[in-house]
Structure 1
Amino acid sequence: MSRMSKQAMPTQIGKYRIDRVLGTGAMGVVYLAFDPHLERPVALKTVRRELLASEDSSGDMLARFRNEARAAGRLAHPNIVTVHDFGEDDSRAYIVMEYVAGHGLDTLLVPGHPLPLSDAFHWLAQLLAALAYAHEAGVVHRDIKPANLLVTAAGLLKVADFGVARIGSSATSSGWMIGTPSYMSPEQFEGESVDARADLFSAGVMLYRMLTGRQPFAGSPATIRRQILKDAPTRPSAIVAALPPAIDAMLARALARRPEDRFGSAAEWLASLRSLVISPAPADDDLTIVTPSAYWSASSPAHATGGASNSPMPSAPQSWPPDILARIERQLATHMGPLASLLVRRAAMQANDLPALGAQLVAVLPDSARSQFEQDFARLTAGVPDGSILTSSSTGPRVATAAAKVSSVSPATAAGMPPAGAIDQASIDAVAVKLAVYLGPIAKMIASREARRAVNFDEFLQRVESCIADAAQRRRFRHDVDSSA
């Protein structure tokens, strides 16, 4: 029985009404709460009572918690989770934050499955924008990793968990090692003082994982420390042959041992990323990478928390018919936006029949959308026999999951409709310029990708519009496009 089940969930903390548990961790519990004064949902993060009661005289646990509130509380950026309030109630401390309806980026990264360049750059650009803002404000996060990055249904990334952040000139006592081992910079492992370039090293580890499907540094904490301090990771293009040499060079700089050899700032890296994104993307920039089945039996990289993992990579499951997955992805996108492709891909890898696939997808939806999607899923898969939907091949290379094929086959093509080639390049470029106002330098790549997947220009606009998180911004974007038509 879990600790939460043994204790009654509070009905109120401070002025905030407690509705349900969002998650539990080593430090405490995160609740979905309601602010009665502003009448809005919030996320309320608490420190466990027993941790506060048993902390030593240094008060480190409570100090870290207060530090998180102070660090994030001074930042107001669309890619950073907003902190509204901090309080202490009896022996309990709590932080009140913006409620983000989404998932940790770590849940969208399947070990052994590289992301398309466009998806990886989408997340990285948003992370760098957030870091550039935080660093300018004097805040160094010091624990950047996928689990601390929240992704909304519309594809907006938000940086969370500033519990070990450094603010201004304040620093942890010399000799203390702070962070998550597999994402820590060499200077963090050495217990030295850190600056913004430590966050850039962690961002480099994250990009490496997204583009290769594996960690650059893996094993026990001691092994990871030795690798980070002494060993250069395998070149990304040696793992994924389709990656261009520019990616090798970018990651070599981001993961340089000496801080002075890395990008000087998040803004500088973002500018470098922009120069790559502006270049026309090849037509197959998000084709599935096919690897020999022996590849999937390699050892699994360490988990995001840095713990070792000796379990083998799961072998590739049987293939799902692409037309079925394309229909499901298209319907899921009406609720989850551009995340639909990743979610279908992950669910198809784990499920062996239609009921299991549907259950996987329903679980990631907000409560308000589940009933409708269940009805749509039943309609889309009506008449498909559960037992015969999967097919397999016992010879030659195989894809980790046929859901990955959806990323290179548009729903229109899968359904037997005309391809989206009728959308001319001038129209795509014009939309990309307007989209860049809201999404930044990755707009051109997103516009090119969605044009290939859309049936016609109207669907193309709907697809790129869904990538804008804010509803008011989506309306302005559509108005800008319509005005110039």
Structure 2
Amino acid sequence: MSEALNRDYLICEEIGRGRFGTVFRCTSRSTGDSFAVKSIDKSLTSGDSLDAQCLLMEPKILHLLSPHPHIIQLYNLYEDEAHLHMVIDLCSGEDLHNLIIANGVIPEAEARLLFTQLMRAVSHCHKCGVVHRDIKPDNILLESRNTVKLADFGSAEVVMDGEMMNGVVGTPYYVAPEVLLGREYGEKVDVWSAGVVLYIMLAGFPPFYGETALEIFEAVLRGNLRFPVTTFQGVSPTVKDLLRRMLCKDVSKRFSAEQVLRHPWITNEESGAGSS
């Protein structure tokens, strides 16, 4: 651990582990406040690789997006020979993936509350020129049962004035079809991924399924969106309409993040969705 990091923070137990590093709980030695520190092992990425570039970009992107009530905040950054250490929000809850696993499905009213916060975060990213590119339940942290924060910007890209991106980035169930087709793509890939998240919250399973990554990709490319009666009989027609507009293969017809926030399913009952 960095000497400066140890001087400023007491490093506590490990609370998470990812492909490039480990997350610990830590406490500020000056205030006693609790945070998380994400320690990235620089040896796991080669200097010129896309992974290395993304890891170096993540703190810059978090700084660009802060502060926002539904995006993880970066407080301090430390670097030593072996690691990059990012001091970020400590979310006392788990992540959305664990909530779905524990509950099977999330009631529609609660799903609206959490999803509205997610889309506010996505809309803010897009206004700042940031495309997350890996929106999935694992990267949506629960600060409490009623508050989410979008996290893990390790795959994010900064784009300027409608600039397009390329490269297959993301997680099989959540990746947009235009990414899989090898085409240039824009910020609406995040809307597709968020649509998959919403579907899973309501159904307990993904809209496009396969036993292998290849089968999942084939299902995504077919884009045959269905609402099985046994699962969706208690779900409102309005949210199904929103899902069709988000999980639309035709990018020109797919909603933007701002259009999602203006959809009747979000606006009609927004009284419970917080004012942030």
TM (norm. structure 2) is 0.87
For residues 12 and 257 of structure 2, the distance between their equivalents in structure 1, rounded to whole angstroms, comes to: 38
For residues 237 and 111 of structure 1, the distance between their equivalents in structure 2, rounded to whole angstroms, comes to: 23
Residue 237 (structure 1) shift: 4.6
Return the letter of the residue paired with 1:35.
S
* Residue in 2 that maps onto 1:222: 214
* Residue in 2 that maps onto 1:404: none
| Match status 1:27 vs 2:17 | no
* Residue in 1 that maps onto 2:75: 84
Return the letter of the residue paired with 2:64.
R
For residues 56 and 256 of structure 1, the distance between their equivalents in structure 2, rounded to whole angstroms, comes to: 37
C-alpha contact 1:67 1:164 (8 A) present in aligned 2: no
Return the letter of the residue paired with 1:257.
K
* Residue in 2 that maps onto 1:40: 33
| Match status 1:199 vs 2:214 | no
The answer to which structure has the higher helix fraction is: 1
* Secondary structure of residue in 2 paired with 1:101: coil
Aligned partner of 1:239 among 208, 224, 231? 231
- Counterparts of 1:18-417 in structure 2, within 5 Å, are 18-37=11-30, 39-48=32-41, 52-53=42-43, 55-75=45-65, 76-110=67-101, 113-169=104-160, 174=166, 176-219=167-210, 220-235=212-227, 237=229, 239-263=231-255, 265-274=256-265, 277-278=268-269
Aligned residues: 272
Residue 40 (structure 1) shift: 2.5
* Residue in 2 that maps onto 1:356: none
For residues 12 and 34 of structure 1, the distance between their equivalents in structure 2, rounded to whole angstroms, comes to: 14
Higher relative contact order (CA 8 A, sep 6+): 2
Residue 199 (structure 1) shift: 0.7
C-alpha contact 1:11 1:18 (8 A) present in aligned 2: no
* Secondary structure of residue in 2 paired with 1:161: coil
| Identity in percent | 28
For residues 236 and 167 of structure 1, the distance between their equivalents in structure 2, rounded to whole angstroms, comes to: 38
- Counterparts of 1:440-479 in structure 2, within 5 Å, are 441-443=270-272
C-alpha contact 2:164 2:185 (8 A) present in aligned 1: no
C-alpha contact 2:136 2:194 (8 A) present in aligned 1: yes
What whole-Å deviation, never above 9, does each CA across 1:4-29 have from its counterpart, x for those lacking one? Answer: xxxxx899745432122111222111
For residues 55 and 107 of structure 1, the distance between their equivalents in structure 2, rounded to whole angstroms, comes to: 28
**Structure 1, 251-260 or 268-277: larger mean CA deviation:** 268-277
C-alpha contact 2:131 2:157 (8 A) present in aligned 1: yes
Return the letter of the residue paired with 2:46.
D
Gaps of 5+ in 2: none
For residues 66 and 19 of structure 1, the distance between their equivalents in structure 2, rounded to whole angstroms, comes to: 25
Change (3 A) 1:233 1:257: same
Structure 1 or 2, whichever has the larger Rg, is: 1
For residues 84 and 112 of structure 1, the distance between their equivalents in structure 2, rounded to whole angstroms, comes to: 33
Residue 249 (structure 1) shift: 2.0
For residues 135 and 108 of structure 1, the distance between their equivalents in structure 2, rounded to whole angstroms, comes to: 26
Return the letter of the residue paired with 1:58.
D
What whole-Å deviation, never above 9, does each CA across 1:387-406 have from its counterpart, x for those lacking one? Answer: xxxxxxxxxxxxxxxxxxxx
C-alpha contact 1:237 1:248 (8 A) present in aligned 2: no
C-alpha contact 1:208 1:236 (8 A) present in aligned 2: no
Return the letter of the residue paired with 1:115.
I
Change (3 A) 1:227 1:11: same
Change (3 A) 1:195 1:43: same
For residues 107 and 82 of structure 2, the distance between their equivalents in structure 1, rounded to whole angstroms, comes to: 47
TM (norm. structure 1) is 0.52
* Secondary structure of residue in 1 paired with 2:252: helix
The answer to which structure has the higher strand fraction is: 2
Residue 154 (structure 1) shift: 5.0
C-alpha contact 2:2 2:79 (8 A) present in aligned 1: no
| Alignment root-mean-square deviation, CA | 2.8
